[in-house]
């Protein structure tokens, strides 16, 4: 018994040792495994933390939306002659919110100590110095303005010189003008009247350029005449309402419904910023009834309908905002040509008559004459907008001097693209063009003024 008990006693430490080793190895293995898992979890956590940090850093940066939510909006569909309004409401009176507010200034530069007002004077008959070019010799003459070519029997309209009171207008010199334009772009921007002034400028300038050194692009929204030896261009951009509109096609723009974006000049202004000398005009297209306004942020094609003067003021403000933001007057020159008058009612200069400009052969001599073809409210509005631009824009006031020239319109002596009925042909006054101007003629003097100011 004692021996048997002794045997059992000697086996217990061995079993305990084996159990201890088993437990130790198990604990050691599990500890290693736990540490490995813990390290993996830590690495995983670090990766997640890093990604979260990057995500948080990205989210904390200003996004385009937080900078300007409008940038993420889809740009409005461009207007063209096929554009239409889904519905129309009355103009609400809203104004665009411009980035830069216009600041009223003191009558900018036109009331400086200048002893001579070039815009006040009279027309003097001068068949020695005028015309400055011959209609038949200008290769860029328009059939809409070539009055002698289309049958006008008198030529007196070509021989009138503008004489300011108390001083003289700088005499035209084509070579000197080209020197002013060397390495520059000059651009006329506007309607058919501004196009007429552009054609006048081409006729005044082209004769001193050899044929192989000049070229012109075909009719397009931007038409460019290039003089190689001066590295200069004289251009015309069709933009009758200044802002974007459904009438921006230079050929197909006679539409029953005129629609414009009152807060966007971007379509046209993409060219303006690269031009050295800009000449703008706008007037007659605003006198053809109401205009539909389609704001850039309007997504349902709901238009507002405004009267011409209201709509023109919105367009002028959009134009002025662009000028204020983009024009350095020390680097670029900008001119605005005031309204070109019409002569539709002869009773305004000769009481008792019921005609128009048809058959007129001499200017009006009554100094200060003002007809219904020029709107004073429009002039005041334009003057107010331009005055806010300080020295960035110069006014070329053609209105009063052109008011005297009832004889300067094509009347029936131009190419008409529509056929005339027998009744119209029997009454020439019924289709006389008393809006545009014969060339050579009145627009040449507008360009002489531009030459003087440059």
Ranges in the chain, pLDDT < 70: 1-75, 98-115, 219
Contacts of 430 (CB under 8 A, 6+ apart): 423, 424
> In angstroms, rounded to a whole number, what is the distance separating the alpha carbons of residues 350 and 352?
6
pLDDT at residue number 221: 87
The CA distances from residue 147 to 144, 361, 411, in Å, are 8, 13, 9
Q: Which letter does DSSP use for residue 245 in this model?
A: B
pLDDT at residue number 196: 97
> In angstroms, rounded to a whole number, what is the distance separating the alpha carbons of residues 119 and 115?
12
Cα angle at 309 between 265 and 241, to 5 degrees? 30
Tens digits of residue pLDDT in 67-124: 333 333 456 788 888 888 988 889 888 888 765 455 444 444 444 445 689 999 999 9
Contacts of 276 (CB under 8 A, 6+ apart): 184, 185, 186, 331, 332, 333
pLDDT at residue number 255: 77
Strands 214-216 and 222-227: antiparallel
Asked whether the beta carbons of 408 and 442 are under 8 A apart, the reply is: yes
> In angstroms, rounded to a whole number, what is the distance separating the alpha carbons of residues 31 and 24?
10
Catalytic residues: 192, 433, 436
Asked whether the beta carbons of 357 and 347 are under 8 A apart, the reply is: no
Which candidate, 171, 244, 98, places its Cα nearest to that of 448? 171
Joined together, the tokens standing for residue 186 give 């000059």
pLDDT at residue number 18: 54
The residue assigned the tokens 């400028």 is 201
Q: Which letter does DSSP use for residue 433 in this model?
A: B
Burial class (CB in 10 A: 0-12, 13-18, 19+), 114: exposed
Tell me the β-bridge partners of 235.
Answer: 187, 224
pLDDT at residue number 75: 61
> In angstroms, rounded to a whole number, what is the distance separating the alpha carbons of residues 125 and 130?
9
pLDDT at residue number 17: 59
Tens digits of residue pLDDT in 299-344: 889 999 999 999 999 999 999 999 999 999 999 999 999 999 999 9
Joined together, the tokens standing for residue 194 give 């501004």
Q: Which letter does DSSP use for residue 39 in this model?
A: H
């Amino acid at each position: 018994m004692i021996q048997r008990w002794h045997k059992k006693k000697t086996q217990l430490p061995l079993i305990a040792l084996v159990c201890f080793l088993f437990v130790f190895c198990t604990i050691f293995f599990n500890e290693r495994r736990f540490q490995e898992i813990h390290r993996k979890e830590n690495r995983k956590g670090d990766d997640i933390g890093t990604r979260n940090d990057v995500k948080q850093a990205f989210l904390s940066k200003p996004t385009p939306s937080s900078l300007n939510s409008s940038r993420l909006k889809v740009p409005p569909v461009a207007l063209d002659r096929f554009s239409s309004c889904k519905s129309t409401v009355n103009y609400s009176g809203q104004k665009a919110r411009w980035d830069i507010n216009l600041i009223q200034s003191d009558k900018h530069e036109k009331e400086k100590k200048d002893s001579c007002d070039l815009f006040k004077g009279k027309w003097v008959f001068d068949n020695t110095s005028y015309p400055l070019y011959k209609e038949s010799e200008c290769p860029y003459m328009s059939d809409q303005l070539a009055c002698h070519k289309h049958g006008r029997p008198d030529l007196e309209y070509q021989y009138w010189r503008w004489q300011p009171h108390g001083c003289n207008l700088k005499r035209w010199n084509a070579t000197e003008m080209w020197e002013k334009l060397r390495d520059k772009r000059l651009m006329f921007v506007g309607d058919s009247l501004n196009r007429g002034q552009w054609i006048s400028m081409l006729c005044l300038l082209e004769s001193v350029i050899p044929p192989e050194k000049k070229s012109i692009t075909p009719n397009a929204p931007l038409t460019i005449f290039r003089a190689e030896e001066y590295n200069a261009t004289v251009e015309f951009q069709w933009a009758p309402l200044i802002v974007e509109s459904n009438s921006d096609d230079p050929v197909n723009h006679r539409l029953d419904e005129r629609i414009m974006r009152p807060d966007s000049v971007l379509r046209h202004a993409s060219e303006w910023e690269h031009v050295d000398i800009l000449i703008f005009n706008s007037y007659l297209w605003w006198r053809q009834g109401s205009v539909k306004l389609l704001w850039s942020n309007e997504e349902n094609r709901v238009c507002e309908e405004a009267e011409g003067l209201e709509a023109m003021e919105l367009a002028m403000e959009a134009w002025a905002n662009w000028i204020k933001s983009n024009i350095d007057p020390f680097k670029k020159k900008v001119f605005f040509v005031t309204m070109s008058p019409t002569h539709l009612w002869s009773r305004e200069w000769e009481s008792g008559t019921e005609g128009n400009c048809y058959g007129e052969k001499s200017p009006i001599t009554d100094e200060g004459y003002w007809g219904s073809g020029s709107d004073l409210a429009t002039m005041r509005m334009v003057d107010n907008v331009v005055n806010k631009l300080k020295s960035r824009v110069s006014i070329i006031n053609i209105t009063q001097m052109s008011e005297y020239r009832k004889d300067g319109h094509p009347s029936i002596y131009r190419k008409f693209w529509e056929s005339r009925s027998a009744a119209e042909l029997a009454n020439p006054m019924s289709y006389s063009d008393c809006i545009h101007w014969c060339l050579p003629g009145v627009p040449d003097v507008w360009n002489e003024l531009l030459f003087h100011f440059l």
